[in-house]
Amino acid sequence: MVVFFSCLLLGLSANGPGVANATDVQYPPIAEVPNAVIDLGKVEEGDVLTACFVLHNAGKGALHIHNVKTACDCTNADYPPDIAPDGRGEICLSINTLGFHGLSKFKAAVYCNDPSRPVIPLQARAQIAPMVTLTPERVFFKAMAGSELRQEIRMETKGPRPLNVRLESHDLGEKIAVDLVPITAGRQYRLTVRNRILTAGSYRGRIFLSSDHPGRERIVVPVFATLTPTVAVYPSRLVLDTGRCPACRAKGLYKGHLIIRAHDRKLLRILSVGPEQPGLTWTIKTMLPDEAFRLDIRYSSAADAPPPPSKMEIGINRTDREALVVPLSLK
């Protein structure tokens, strides 16, 4: 999870501490921050981080820090109220990372009496390893249609406090079955997801969990499935055209091809191709013995030929598949 905090840029009141006095105008302070962004690297969720920014007063007047506003209650700021001319001070942010994970950015705004720079943005960032982990983080089914598919996700906490997790719902209806059971009470859980779809196709959705861990009150587990048919035809819709042959278009000669392939590596035979009608011919070529074939189809729209069929039907030697039906059209 990537967490972004908007920087608080509040206007200074005309009667507030931002009003410059005569001394400030004659001898203005100049606020310089050599490094306004600090990368704290990789840390663990729950660590309390400290990021200190050096603030240099390069002017001839005293630099007054009116306030440091942080964008989150998780961040506290410590700073000196004044920095003498040519002096340096530190603005330190103390950051509690509980409830954050992934690339997280923590911002603050420094309000001072530098007339050219009354608001100075600061940012600390860190890559936070979560205290509550899911392994793996998502469910992905990719197999032959009709296969028995199941995947487990292990959820655990590395923190000192017990973790309570509850299965709320999912948006995949009857496509999956979901079960959540504790492995070690308050520490580890096992989420089991089973595919219930037997036909070829694909789907995607989400499983929703809830927990009492700060920042992880709602946990979403993505689900993806690609179920390949045991025997497939490519393309799924056949378009016959004349190609780059002007004479073929004039004569009404159209052609195209299909690839029929067994993905389960079982014996495949093409038993029939239809419908049979005048002007429509085809040939079968073996690409991989007993596994893949190319079906070249030609159609002639001669004066006495009937219109092409709206679909091709290919009979195969499989009891688990009916005839393959492919829509057909001319281009």
Per-residue pLDDT of the chain (331 residues; tens, 9 = 90+): 434 334 343 333 333 344 445 555 678 999 999 999 999 999 989 899 999 999 999 999 999 999 999 999 999 999 999 999 999 999 999 999 988 989 999 999 999 999 999 999 999 999 999 999 999 999 999 998 888 999 999 999 988 889 999 999 999 999 999 999 999 999 999 999 999 998 889 999 999 999 999 888 999 999 999 998 889 999 999 999 988 888 887 788 899 999 999 988 889 999 999 999 988 999 999 999 999 999 999 998 876 778 889 999 999 998 877 789 999 999 8
Structure token pair of residue 49: 């981080």
- DSSP letter assigned to residue 11: P
State which fold the 22-129 domain adopts. Answer: Immunoglobulin-like (2.60.40)
- Give the list of residues 6+ apart from residue 222 with CB closer than 8 angstroms, or none: 137, 138, 139, 204, 205, 206
How far is 28 from 59, CA to CA, in rounded Å? 6
- Containing H/E element for 191? strand 188-195
Residues 175-215 pLDDT 10s: 999 999 999 999 999 999 999 998 889 999 999 999 999 88
How far is 150 from 178, CA to CA, in rounded Å? 10
Structure token pair of residue 242: 């004349």
Q: Kindly report, as residue ranges, where domains of CATH 2.60.40.10 are found in the chain.
A: 22-129, 132-228, 231-330
132-228 in CATH: which number? 2.60.40.10
> What is the DSSP track for 31-86?
EE-S-SEEEEEEEETTPEEEEEEEEEE-SSSPEEEEEEEESSTTEEEE--SEE-TT
- DSSP letter assigned to residue 175: G
Nearest to 195 by CA among 160, 158, 217, 170: 170
Q: How far is CA 315 from CA 98, 146, 310, in A?
A: 62, 21, 17
- Give the list of residues 6+ apart from residue 130 with CB closer than 8 angstroms, or none: 45, 101, 102, 216
Q: Tell me which of 3.65.10.10, 3.30.1540.10, 2.60.40.10, 1.10.730.10 is the CATH number of domain 231-330.
A: 2.60.40.10
| DSSP SS3 for 330 | strand
How far is 314 from 233, CA to CA, in rounded Å? 10
Q: Pairing mode, if any, of strands 324-330 and 238-240?
A: parallel
The pTM of this model reads 0.65
Residues 61-73 pLDDT 10s: 999 999 999 999 9
How far is 177 from 195, CA to CA, in rounded Å? 7
- Give the list of residues 6+ apart from residue 220 with CB closer than 8 angstroms, or none: 206, 207, 208, 209
